[in-house]
Amino acid sequence: MSSLNRDSIVNKKIVRPIILHEDDCELEAWDDEEKGFVTWRTLVSGDRTPTEGLTCGVAELPVGRTTIFRMHRHAPPEIYYVLEGFGALKINDQEYAVKKGSTIYIPSNDTHCLINCGDVPLRLFYVFAADSFSDIEYEFPQS
C-alpha cells in the first residue's frame, strides 16, 4: 500500500499519524494574579504539530498552592479527563467534585476553574475542538 493510501488528505494537505511523548513537549506555565497557577504541555496543536481540528495536552495543578487556575472562559468547548488526584471544578455557578477517571465536558464560553483539593498533583488531559492552542482566546473575568 502506498504512503498516500495510509495517510488522510484534509483540506488538500496530507495529514499523517503522529506519536508523541509528554516529556518531549515544552513545559509551559501561568503564574500570576489574573490567571492563577497551572502548568501544561501541549501535545497536539496545529501550530506545533502537523495536525488540525483538535488541540490537546496535559495540565497539572500542584499541591498546596495558594493561587488556583482562575475562573476563565473561551469559545471552543473543552473536555477534561482527570489522570491523577482530586479537586473541585466550578462551572458557572455549580461546583463539582472530580477525581481520577472523571470526564468533564465544558460547553463553549462557560466560565470555569479548577482547584486541587488533594495531597498529590491534580493532572488532567484536556482537549479543545480547535486547530491550535494559539487559536484559543482565554478571558479571565474579574472575580
Strands 28-32 and 103-106: unpaired
Query: What is the pLDDT tens value at each position of the chain, 143 positions in all?
Result: 444 445 555 556 667 889 999 999 999 999 988 888 899 999 999 999 999 899 999 999 999 765 577 899 999 999 999 999 999 999 999 999 999 999 999 999 999 999 999 999 999 999 999 999 999 999 998 75
3-state secondary structure of 3: helix
CA distance 47 to 128: 14
Domain-wise residue ranges, the chain? 18-135
Q: Look at residue 7 in the predicted model and tell me its pLDDT.
A: 57
In this prediction the pTM is 0.86
Architecture of domain 18-135: Sandwich (2.60)
